[in-house]
Structure 1
Amino acid sequence: MTEESPVEDTAADARPRTVTAGVVVLSALTLAFLAVSGYFGYTHRQAEQEAQQRSEILEAARQGVVNLTTMDFEQADEDVQKVLDGSAGDFRDEFEARSEDLVAVMQEAKVKSVGEVQQAAIETQNGDSADVLVAVAQKVSNAGGAAEEPRGQRMRVTMQLDDGSYKIVKAGFVQ
């Protein structure tokens, strides 16, 4: 029987431990990389969704303000309906309740107005609701000879998600 030297046994045992330790380190690094990649992917997706939401809010606010500031006595019913379609809640209810009077006054005075949004920005946002500041230039003419020079106005509109789209639930002028 031959006896093996202890040095040879130690060298033979060291190789599998080194390979095993390397596999463990490589596995740990791979898991860490996947975790970091997943985190960055998730935060990127969240940022894209938030940017898309802000874009939808701003577009709806811009269109809503244009609808509020653009009226033509010759198509007053259609213009009022555009405002109603882009609004919800108490604002919609109040606008609808006063719409017949608005149409009558517009037709009697032959009012035409055209609103053009100059700028819009989200002031505050909380979930599916946002306050948007909108700068709008409005040209108004009527039978009384009102000039068509643009008048600058600032508005604050509160937008709320309603049936899958953002609608005006509150509107007012800002001094």
Structure 2
Amino acid sequence: MGGRGGRWLAGALALVLVGLLVGIGLVVSGRGSTDQELTDAQQEVARAARTEALAFLTVDHTDMEPLIEAVLAGATGEFKEQYDSQREKLTREAIRTEATSTAEVVALGVGDLDDDSAVVLLAANSTVANKKTDSEGQVRYYRLRLDLVREGGRWLTSDVRFVR
């Protein structure tokens, strides 16, 4: 996506996602301004999903280990195993491309939620810089679906998928 047309398309996609999140029944701004409207369970799931998404989208080629550990701390099951198995490749690629990425969650919706599982859709923007970008980086727009499960009293991410 480049230029004015790319920004318009990204903005339109963000509006569609927010509309879908509202249709699901709950939208929380990146600043948490509507947290008082959430139940305790929804707040807990939203915090876990936001934390995991930010960890997942953050890259720093100078120090990847704590970032990888942050993702793994909020992960479980097959997602955790797959991510852990890619740690060397992730680190190698970040260093090779001199990549950095700083993310922010701009919208988050808690969909299905019961005592042991939840589905969260979220929109995040990330400023990405590497050898091929200018020094200010490029903003990328992500839409994610996170499946969470409650294990040992904590909400952990069992799957992360990019959605359109």
TM-score (norm 1): 0.69
Where structure 2 has 5 or more consecutive residues not aligned to the other structure, the ranges are 1-37
Are 1:119 and 2:107 an aligned pair? yes
- For the residue of structure 2 that corresponds to 1:74, the secondary structure is coil
Cα deviation code 1:112-147 (max 9, x no counterpart) = 001100011112113220010010001100122256
What are the equivalent positions in structure 2 for 1:70-149 lying under 5 Å apart? Answer: 70-145=58-133, 148-149=137-138
Matched letter for residue 133 of structure 1: L
SS of corresponding position for 2:137: coil
Contact 2:130 2:137 in 1 (8 A): no
Distance 1:51 1:169 in 2: 22
- The separation in 1 between residues aligned to 2:54 and 2:72, in whole angstroms, is 13
CA distance in 1, matches of 2:52, 2:128: 18
Q: 1:62 and 2:57 equivalent?
A: no
* Cα deviation digits, residues 44-74 of structure 1 (max 9, x gap): xxxxxx9111100000000100000011011
Partner of 1:156: 145
2:18 is matched with: none
Two-structure CA RMSD over aligned residues (Å): 1.4
Q: Which runs of 4+ in 1 moved over 2 A?
A: 144-147
3-state DSSP of counterpart to 1:120? strand
* Greater fraction of residues in helix: 1
Aligned length: 126
* Aligned residues with identical type, % of pairs: 24
Task: State the Cα deviation string for residues 52-106 of structure 1 (Å, max 9, x = none).
Answer: 1110000000010000001101110111110001101100000000111110110
Larger Cα-atom Rg: 1
Higher relative contact order (CA 8 A, sep 6+): 2
* Local SS of the residue matching 1:171: strand
The TM-score normalised by the length of structure 2 is 0.73
Q: Which whole-Å CA distance do the structure 1 matches of 2:115 and 2:144 have between them?
A: 21
